[in-house]
Amino acid sequence: MRPLPSRDLRKSNAQFARASERLPLGVSSTFRYWGDDRTIYVDHGKGGRVWDIDGNGYIDYRLGYGPAILGYADDRVDAAARRGMEVGGVFALSTERELIVADRIAKMVPAAEMVRFSNSGTEAVMAALRLARAYTGRDSYLLVEGAYHGLFDAAMWMANVEGWDRSANRDPEIVSYSRGIPQELKALAHLVPMNDLERLEDTFRRYGDSMAAMLIEPIQGNCCGIAASADYVRLARALCDRYGVLLIIDEVKTGFRVAKGGVQSLYGVTPDICTFAKAVANGYPISVVAGRAEVMRTFRQGGAAHGGTYTAHSVSMAAADECLRILDETPALETIARYGEALKAGISAILSRRGIAHSYAGHSSMFGLFFADTPPDNYRDWKASDYSFYDQMAHFLHDLGVICEPDSREPWFICEAHGTDPACLAETLKAVETAVDLTLEHFEAEKRA
């Protein structure tokens, strides 16, 4: 077996040891912990690349889970953000730019008749669900298995397929995926598998009259980019209309990334409420709740509460103004999609030469890679699939200077800077080829052991 790639992570390891004394797991988000000896600390980023405090450079296909739609430290957006600093920061009062950005969003997304701003994707979805409950006067709601809607109690429910008998005539148990979630809330959450039209109709027949909302990511941003079929999304819209349920399309990851009008424009389905966050301001903290004017006007005194001291911060608003202008008025999204297609084609060529079955899910700007002839189209099938090859390949890629999420559920994200960096694609494919061969050798050695 060839020598394994390695990195010098002595500074990162020392930082981890110190940080662990003050920060749980040495980080400020559990998902940034990659192991005691492999957790990295970023020194800086530029374009589609980041450098850690040890000086190791990486081509980054994680992009902070998608926000850096144009690339890190984009000169245009950062210049706008500095102009936003001159406004003064936080007033807990409104500025003129809020309407300017809201008008841009409404132009790009026809469903966004009215807009409210928040700070994170989690905040936006929390507000959207509260809004739906206030408008309908109902409490329960429907989630699609495998979806991720943020870290708040109402959204943190999943189908427990571990040990579930797939041949049994019953659904897997609904469980919370964190401790600290009040179990009394489980009665309000209904779950359905993606792309099972019969189960969707049955669930609406049973619970539709008591549900406030159905939340859906038509491209699942935390489950490998698994996509809903057009028939499934259209049926969801029709059932919501029939039962008086509000359709919430969660575009925290897909919004302004897969298309100017978001994933809803690709499916041709208009939600009652939609949420956006990651790509709105190229990494500056901001999120959006938008939707039908009649519904959105429920945000009022005596209606659904919404607010926050840092909401519509002058820096984030200025960054959003410029980022959305670029996405709306330049070929940035075409550049991103073209690079994503080239990357997938290059990876496919490497895998096909070695006779390795593979497939992709999602969109060229945020795609999941599977080592099977066809990708799963629901969480249950993904959970039953073999993702050990991917996990091991990701391990080697990090040592070879390419970052993808070590957890195979996360898609590969593309930014505009990947497409304008002349060396990016060739360097990535060279690393992928080496990582694939090392992974093949790894599993062959395991067989012999």
Compute φ and ψ for 179, nearest 5 degrees: -75, 160
Cα separation of 286 and 282, whole Å?
A: 10
- Contacting residues for 98 by C-beta, under 8 A, at least 6 apart: 117, 312, 317
Instruction: Flag whether pLDDT at 3 surpasses 90.
Output: no
Find how far residue 60's CA is from the centre of its chain.
15
Instruction: Flag whether pLDDT at 286 surpasses 90.
Output: yes
- Catalytic-role residue among 278, 377, 379, 399: 278
- Contacting residues for 342 by C-beta, under 8 A, at least 6 apart: 425
3-state SS track over 307-338: CCCCCCCHHHHHHHHHHHHHHHHCCHHHHHHH
Compute φ and ψ for 344, nearest 5 degrees: -60, -40
Cα separation of 385 and 188, whole Å?
A: 30
Q: Is 56 left (phi over 0), alpha (psi -120 to 50) or beta?
A: beta
* 379 classed as catalytic: no
Averaged pLDDT for residues 273-280: 98
Cα separation of 278 and 418, whole Å?
A: 17
**What's the chain's length in residues?**
449
Looking at residue 187, what DSSP letter applies? G
Cα separation of 254 and 362, whole Å?
A: 10
Ranges for all domains in the chain classified under CATH 3.40.640.10: 75-329
Cα separation of 349 and 432, whole Å?
A: 11
- pLDDT tens digit string along 378-415? 999 998 888 899 999 999 999 999 999 988 889 999 99
- pLDDT tens digit string along 5-21? 999 999 999 999 999 99
Contact at 8 Å (CB) between 402 and 58? yes
Contact at 8 Å (CB) between 141 and 214? yes
Instruction: Flag whether pLDDT at 273 surpasses 70.
Output: yes
Cα separation of 232 and 249, whole Å?
A: 13
In three-state secondary structure terms, 82 is: helix
- pLDDT tens digit string along 213-272? 999 999 999 999 999 999 999 999 999 999 999 999 999 999 999 999 999 999 999 999
Averaged pLDDT for residues 126-130: 98
Residue with tokens 């509260």: 130
Ranges for all domains in the chain classified under CATH 3.90.1150.10: 45-72+331-448
- Catalytic-role residue among 135, 148, 339, 379: 148
Rounded to two decimals, what is the model's pTM? 0.97
Q: Give me 430's structure tokens.
A: 């060279």
Instruction: Flag whether pLDDT at 165 surpasses 90.
Output: no
- pLDDT tens digit string along 178-229? 999 999 999 999 999 999 999 999 999 999 999 999 999 999 999 999 999 9
Give the pLDDT confidence score for residue 307 in this predicted structure.
Answer: 95
Q: Can you point out the beta strands (E) in 94-219?
A: 114-118, 140-144, 157-160, 173-176, 189-192, 211-216
Cα separation of 165 and 323, whole Å?
A: 48
User: What is the average pLDDT value for the chain, to the nearest integer?
Assistant: 96
In three-state secondary structure terms, 367 is: strand
Q: What's the farthest any 2 CA atoms get from each other in the chain?
A: 69
* 207 classed as catalytic: no
Yes or no: domain 75-329 corresponds to CATH 3.40.50.150: no
CATH class of 45-72+331-448: alpha beta
Q: Which DSSP helix (H) or strand (E) runs through 386?
A: none
Averaged pLDDT for residues 363-373: 96
Cα separation of 176 and 182, whole Å?
A: 9
Find how far residue 257's CA is from the centre of its chain.
10
In three-state secondary structure terms, 301 is: coil
Averaged pLDDT for residues 117-122: 98
Q: Can you point out the beta strands (E) in 377-429?
A: 402-403, 412-413
Give the pLDDT confidence score for residue 1 in this predicted structure.
Answer: 66
- The alpha helices in 330-387, defined as continuous H runs, are 332-353, 379-384
Q: Residue 2 — very low, low, confident or very high, per pLDDT cuts 50/70/90? A: confident
Averaged pLDDT for residues 69-86: 98
Considering the chain, what percentage of its residues have pLDDT values greater than 70?
A: 100
* 11 classed as catalytic: no
CB atoms < 10 A from the CB of 199, how many?
15
Residue with tokens 């499916």: 267
- Catalytic-role residue among 52, 60, 74, 250: 250
Give the pLDDT confidence score for residue 169 in this predicted structure.
Answer: 81
Q: Is 275 left (phi over 0), alpha (psi -120 to 50) or beta?
A: beta
Instruction: Flag whether pLDDT at 432 surpasses 90.
Output: yes
Answer with the residue of higher pLDDT: 166 or 113.
113
Averaged pLDDT for residues 65-69: 97
